[in-house]
């Protein structure tokens, strides 16, 4: 299973972490990917102030609410073939 970890620490919370979580949950629901993807809350990824911190495998990214679909298509879809 591929895990999407989203920081919910203070800075990320204020920048919309829960909106990012909700967006990813909607995308997973729409695409019926519950068995291949999970969204997990996490704490500080040490990128405070750069946007909501997101970790996918060992890579860290910073997102803003509203950018999750683009991120999903560019970074998650290519990895789905590796996850069964």
Helix (H) and strand (E) counts in the chain: 4, 4
Nearest to residue 25, comparing CAs of 13, 50, 43, 17? 17
Q: How many folded domains does the chain comprise?
A: 1
pLDDT by residue for the chain (84 residues), tens only, comes to 999 999 999 999 999 999 999 999 999 999 999 999 999 999 988 888 889 999 999 999 999 999 999 999 999 999 988 876
Please state, in angstroms and rounded to a whole number, the distance separating the CA atoms of residues 31 and 58. 24
Question: Could you list the residue range(s) of the whole structural domain that residue 54 is in?
Answer: 2-80
The whole-model pTM stands at 0.92
Q: What is the CATH number of the domain that holds 49?
A: 3.40.30.10
Q: Which helix (H) or strand (E) holds 21?
A: helix 17-30
Amino acid 84: pLDDT = 66
């Amino acid at each position: 299973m591929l895990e999407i970890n989203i920081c919910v620490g203070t800075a990320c919370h204020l920048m919309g972490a829960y909106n990012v979580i909700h967006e990813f949950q909607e995308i997973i629901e729409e695409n019926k990917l519950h068995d291949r993807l999970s969204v997990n809350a996490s704490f500080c990824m040490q990128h405070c102030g750069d946007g909501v911190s997101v970790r996918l495998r060992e890579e860290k990214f910073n997102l803003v609410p509203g950018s999750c679909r683009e991120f999903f298509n560019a970074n998650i879809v290519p990895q789905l073939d590796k996850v069964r």
